[in-house]
């Protein structure tokens, strides 16, 4: 049986980094674990690909029972072609040690055409590169291709009723762009084969390529020698600037020279690391605190952004709130709690979300959020989509106060924040005894991914326990704000 060195994904991996390709082929055990958020993205991409088959209905699916049964996939494809199929899904081809699946292969009056499906909203350079590899392999397998297109999501589509497949997707031909890549294919393929057969891990230092065009999934291995408080921890410094320092031998933040071209906030972080110092602007913090009007509410949203709209009057990748947590200050020592978590029965959760939010937020008192732009923009979108609730939702917007401001402006800074004003850094720095570590769901991307898989009918875990986990995570976000505000008050009290 023929040896398959490369696929589309491993070819692109090799173009990005030869070391990553070698590790993937020979030391897969060193690969970083896939997070729940990443898995949700992969799952969504797969479901988008299957849905796109409806653009060319009635085709023959050549996919084998198991993805890696390559020989069977080739046999299925040859059988379908021999029997005169004009539409094939997951058609398999191999040439020169490269194996590819074509999402959709169609023969029309012009000849054979490939449609490669992506869940993105535009065509990227990497899409052209992997589609070009497809064209190279398929053409050399005896299929005279006339065109190759990227099928991607049309983010201007608004769902009204059943999904309109022709409106959801956009077909963009990249045939001419692919012709520019085709002459490079034989050389690159042979080069990457030699990497795979090299017998040892290639010498490749870390660099900007670790992040571009994709974040590498072997960073846990390749970056394991990078120490704590390295220059890569400088917040909001461009990655190429970080590597300029690193390549000069400046590895640790404490070794950064005094005249380094950094912003005021970056210098604050560097100084904090060097001298273990903190910064407290008591005047501005006091003004911020004194402006708060009780009773205080602490609010946090979670959203999903499905590629394929789940509900009427929604667009691809529109962020839809499905959950909130709300802590309410009853007196100086006690807090009430309200929460909302949408059902996953196919109904649009937004109207129920709105009604309960209006009720739970009461009529007076500031509503504290962390990163006001997020919650405010989501409420503004709800006003657009549900204008009958405009007045009470606008009143909620008018009451919002952003707890992130004192940290964003640098009024309160300790070195443990690592230059970030994200709540995931601020909380452990100011309230070290309060942690997300014991929660099953620890960050927003995972919460979004898990709920989206539940709403889309793709979730295979324990529904009841996962709903409890979602509630616990969101509740922690608002309690974290309560505790952060308490610490802020103690700093100026």
User: How high is the pLDDT of residue 4?
Assistant: 77
Stretch 387-403: mean pLDDT: 98
Residue (of 56, 55, 75) closest to 65 by Cα position: 75
- Residue 286 binned pLDDT confidence (cut-offs 50, 70, 90): very high
Half-sphere exposure of 244 (CA within 13 A, CB side): 9
pLDDT in the model for residue 2: 63
CB 100 within 8 A of CB 94: yes
pLDDT score at 199: 92
Query: Would you give the distance in Å from CA 355 to the centre of its chain?
Result: 30
Those residues with Cβ within 8 angstroms of residue 470's Cβ, 6 or more apart along the chain or in another chain: 302, 323, 341, 441, 447, 450, 451
Res 41: pLDDT: 84
Tell which wins on pLDDT, 417 or 396: 396
SS3 string, the chain, reads CCCCCECHHHHHHHHHCHHHHHHHHHCHHHCCCCCHHHHHHHHHHHHHHHHHHHHHCCCEECCCCCCCCHHHHHHHHHHHHHCCCCEEEEEEEEECCEEEEEEEEEEECCEEEEEEECCCCCCCHHHHHHHHHHHHHHHCCCCCEEEEEEEEECCCCCCCCCCCHHHHEEEEECHHHHHHHHHHHHHHHHHHHHHHCCCCCCCCCCCHHHCCCCCCCCHHHHCCCCCCCEHHHCCCCCHHHHHHHHHCCCCEHHHCCCCCCCCHHHHHHHHHHHHCCCEECHHHHHHHHHCCCCCCEEEEEEEECCCCCCCCCCCCCCCEEEEEEEEEECCCCCEEEEEEECCCCCCCCHHHHHHHHHHHCCCCCCEEECCHHHHHHHHHHHHHHCHHHHHHHHHHHHCEEECCHHHHCCCEECHHHCCCCCHHHHHHHHCCCCCCCCCCCCCHHHHHHHHHHHHCCCCCCCHHHHHHHHHHHHHHHHHHHHHHHHHHHHHHC
Give me the mean pLDDT over the 443-450 stretch.
Answer: 91
In the predicted structure, residue 278 carries a pLDDT above the cut 90:
no
CB 170 within 8 A of CB 151: yes
User: What CA–CA distance (Å, rounded) separates 219 from 415?
Assistant: 25
Q: Which two tokens stand for residue 94?
A: 């191999």
| Percent of the chain predicted with pLDDT > 70 | 100
Q: Left (φ > 0), alpha (ψ -120 to 50) or beta: where does 418 sit?
A: left
What is the distance between the alpha carbons of residues 130 and 122, in angstroms, rounded to a whole number? Answer: 15
A 10 A CB-CB count for 9 gives: 11
pLDDT of residue 472: 96
pLDDT of residue 490: 93
Q: Residue 435 region, left (φ>0) first, then alpha (ψ -120 to 50), else beta?
A: beta
Mean pLDDT of 438-442: 91
Burial class (CB in 10 A: 0-12, 13-18, 19+), 84: exposed
Asked if the model's pLDDT at residue 187 lies above 70, the reply is yes
**Nearest in space to 5 (alpha carbons), one of 85, 89, 94:** 94
Residue 1 has pLDDT above 60, yes or no: no
Residue 493 binned pLDDT confidence (cut-offs 50, 70, 90):
confident
What pLDDT digit, counting tens, does each position of 148-186 carry? 999 999 999 999 999 999 999 999 999 999 999 999 999
What are 305-353's pLDDT values in tens digits? 999 999 999 999 999 999 999 999 988 789 999 999 999 988 999 999 9
Q: Which residue has the tokens 């005169």?
A: 84
How do residues 28-56 score in pLDDT, each as one tens digit?
Answer: 999 999 887 888 888 888 899 999 999 99
CA angle 154, 160, 161 (to 5 degrees): 115
136-155 pLDDT per residue, tens: 999 999 999 999 999 999 99
**Among 73-87, 390-404, 422-436, whose mean pLDDT is lowest?**
422-436
Segment 416-442 mean pLDDT:
90
228-231 own/partner pairs: CB under 8 Å, 24+ apart? 229/253, 229/254, 229/273, 231/256
Angle of CA points 320, 326, 327, to nearest 5°: 160
pTM above 0.85, yes or no: yes
Please say whether the beta carbons of 149 and 171 come within 8 A.
Answer: yes
The fraction of the chain above a pLDDT of 90, given in percent, is 81
Measure the CA–CA gap between 272 and 256, rounded to whole angstroms.
Answer: 12
Residue with the larger pLDDT of the pair 438 and 2: 438
Contact between 253 and 231 (Cβ < 8 Å): yes
- Cα angle value 41/47/53 (rounded, 5°): 140
Tell me the C-alpha distance between 266 and 245, whole Å: 14
Q: What is the mean pLDDT of residues 354-364?
A: 96
Average pLDDT, the chain: 93
For 100-112, what is the mean pLDDT?
Answer: 96
CA diameter of the chain:
82
User: Which candidate, 487, 486, 479, places its Cα nearest to that of 300?
Assistant: 479
């Amino acid at each position: 049986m023929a040896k398959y060195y490369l696929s589309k994904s491993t070819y692109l991996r090799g173009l990005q980094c030869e070391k990553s390709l070698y590790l993937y082929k020979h030391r897969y055990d060193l690969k970083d674990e896939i997070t729940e958020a990443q898995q949700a993205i992969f799952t969504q991409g797969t479901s988008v690909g299957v849905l796109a088959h409806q653009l060319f209905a009635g085709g023959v699916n050549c996919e084998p029972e198991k993805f890696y049964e390559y020989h069977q996939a080739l046999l299925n494809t040859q059988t379908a072609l021999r029997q005169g199929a004009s539409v094939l899904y997951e058609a398999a081809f191999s040439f020169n040690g490269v194996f590819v699946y074509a999402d959709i292969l169609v023969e029309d009056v012009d000849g054979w055409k490939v449609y490669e499906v992506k869940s993105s909203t535009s065509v990227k350079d990497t899409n052209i590169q992997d589609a070009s590899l497809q064209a190279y392999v398929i053409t050399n397998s005896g299929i005279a291709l006339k065109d190759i297109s990227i099928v991607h999501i049309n983010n201007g589509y608004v769902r009204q009723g059943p999904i309109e497949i022709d409106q959801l997707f956009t077909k963009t031909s990249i045939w001419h762009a692919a012709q520019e890549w085709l002459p490079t294919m034989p050389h690159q393929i042979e080069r990457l084969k030699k990497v795979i057969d090299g017998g040892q891990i290639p010498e490749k230092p870390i660099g900007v390529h670790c992040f571009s065009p994709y974040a590498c999934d072997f960073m846990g291995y390749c970056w394991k020698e990078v120490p704590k408080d390295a220059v890569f921890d400088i917040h909001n410094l461009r990655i190429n600037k970080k590597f300029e320092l690193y390549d000069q031998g400046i590895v640790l933040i404490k070794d950064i020279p005094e005249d380094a071209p950094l912003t005021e906030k970056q210098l604050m972080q560097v100084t904090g690391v060097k001298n273990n110092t903190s910064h407290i602007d008591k005047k501005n913090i006091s003004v911020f605190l004194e402006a708060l009007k009780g009773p205080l509410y602490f609010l946090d949203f979670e959203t999903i952004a499905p590629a394929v709209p789940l509900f009427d009057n929604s667009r691809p990748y529109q962020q839809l709130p499905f959950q909130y947590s709300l802590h309410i200050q009853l007196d100086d020592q006690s807090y009430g709690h309200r929460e909302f978590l949408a059902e996953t029965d196919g109904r649009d959760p937004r109207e129920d979300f709105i009604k309960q939010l209006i009720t739970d937020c009461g009529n007076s008192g500031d509503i504290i959020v962390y990163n006001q732009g997020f919650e405010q923009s989501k409420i503004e979108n709800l006003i657009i989509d549900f204008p009958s609730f405009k007045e009470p939702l606008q009143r909620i917007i008018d009451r919002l106060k952003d707890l992130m401001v004192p940290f964003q402006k640098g009024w309160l800074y300790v070195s443990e924040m690592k230059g970030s004003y994200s709540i995931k850094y601020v909380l452990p720095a100011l309230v070290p005894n309060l942690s997300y570590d014991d929660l099953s769901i620890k960050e927003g991307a995972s919460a979004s991914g898990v709920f989206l898989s539940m709403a889309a009918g793709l979730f295979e875990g324990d529904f009841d326990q996962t709903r409890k986990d979602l509630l616990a995570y969101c509740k922690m976000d608002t309690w974290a704000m309560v505790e952060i505000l308490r610490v802020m008050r103690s700093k100026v009290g």
